[in-house]
Amino acid sequence: MRVDLHLHSCLSPCGDDQMRPDVLVGFSALGGVELAALTDHNSVRNCPAAAAAAAEYGIGFIPGAEVTTSEDVHCVCLLPTLEAAMAFGAELERHCQQIPNRPDIFGRQTICHPDGPDEEYPWLLLPASDLSILELPAFVRRFDGLCYPAHVDREANGLFAMLGLWPEELDVPAVEIRHRLPAGVPDGLKIIQASDAHRLEDLPEGGFVLPLPSADFEGLARYLRLR
Ligand SMILES: [Zn+2]
Ligand SMILES: [Zn+2]
């Protein structure tokens, strides 16, 4: 199964304005990706448009977000349904600061509605939430979702760069890498490679191979032995 489970749309301030949900899903599908996840910073608000595009292109889709924990560690959170994701997102926003975005400095945060005009999300999506990395897994499970640390081999907002070591109590089924697995990751975790694409030219041809039984959240959950 060809997957890419970490993608940013034009809702992420650092995401290119060209990365409209339908465009990035379309590019992924045409490149051979069979299952894509949208993981904007601290928001799920472009997931409805991405889900609609995935249905049109006939690929699997998982709604999600890349949450910044209170320690500034990035974690990929994935939800089983759009409904669960929207409920998760609404609750997540209560854990995020309301600092007005400055599009001229940080970039635009465009919400693309499947049927209707675009909208700018007013609060900057980059700052840390007040959820700690040890709280986040239980928080996501309340919505039947799952989470794992993102790009642990990266300096910026990677777990090891922020915390120095893997917290023993951290209850996650997987770890995401950009390129290679660093030392210090506990044995037994599944390793998920993802693009973390912010621009169309970052989208890898064909995504990454994972032996999932089906191109959906359930397939991923079963692969991660959560079902
Ligand atoms: Zn990140
Ligand atoms: Zn990211």
- Banded pLDDT at 187 (limits 50, 70, 90): very high
Query: So what's the pLDDT on residue 18?
Result: 96
Measured in angstroms, how far is the CA atom of residue 66 from the centroid of ligand 1? Answer: 7
State how beta strands 208-209 and 119-120 pair.
unpaired
Task: State the burial class of residue 189 (Cβ atoms within 10 Å of its Cβ: 0-12, 13-18, 19+).
Answer: middle
The ligand minimizing its distance to the Cα of 155 is 1
| Domains of the chain, first to last | 2-223 (3.20.20.140)
Q: What is the tens place of the pLDDT at every residue in 21-42?
A: 999 999 999 999 999 999 999 9
Measured in angstroms, how far is the CA atom of residue 151 from the centroid of ligand 1? Answer: 7
Q: What is the mean pLDDT of the chain?
A: 97
The ligand minimizing its distance to the Cα of 9 is 2
CA nearest to 152, candidates 194, 211, 92: 194
Q: In the chain, which ranges are continuous DSSP H helix?
A: 21-30, 47-57, 82-93, 103-106, 136-141, 159-163, 217-223
Query: So what's the pLDDT on residue 75?
Result: 98
151 pLDDT above the threshold of 90: yes
Neighbours of 95 (CB within 10 A): 17
Question: What percentage of the chain exceeds 90 in pLDDT?
Answer: 98
Mean pLDDT, range 58-79, rounded to an integer: 98
Give the span between the Cα atoms of 55 and 67, in whole angstroms.
Answer: 25
CA nearest to 65, candidates 83, 45, 51, 50: 45
Neighbours of ion ligand 2 (CB under 5 A): 66, 196
Q: What is the tens place of the pLDDT at every residue in 1-20?
A: 999 999 999 999 999 999 99
102 pLDDT above the threshold of 90: yes
57 pLDDT above the threshold of 90: yes
How many H-runs (helices) and E-runs (strands) does the chain carry? 7, 10
Residues 6+ apart with CB under 8 A from 6: 37, 39, 66, 76, 150, 151, 176, 194, 195, 196, 197
Q: What is the tens place of the pLDDT at every residue in 126-136?
A: 999 999 999 99
Query: So what's the pLDDT on residue 26?
Result: 97
Give the span between the Cα atoms of 195 and 192, in whole angstroms.
Answer: 10
Measured in angstroms, how far is the CA atom of residue 31 from the centroid of ligand 1? Answer: 23
Token pair for 2: 């060809």
227 pLDDT above the threshold of 90: no
Measured in angstroms, how far is the CA atom of residue 127 from the centroid of ligand 1? Answer: 12
CA nearest to 37, candidates 6, 1, 58: 6
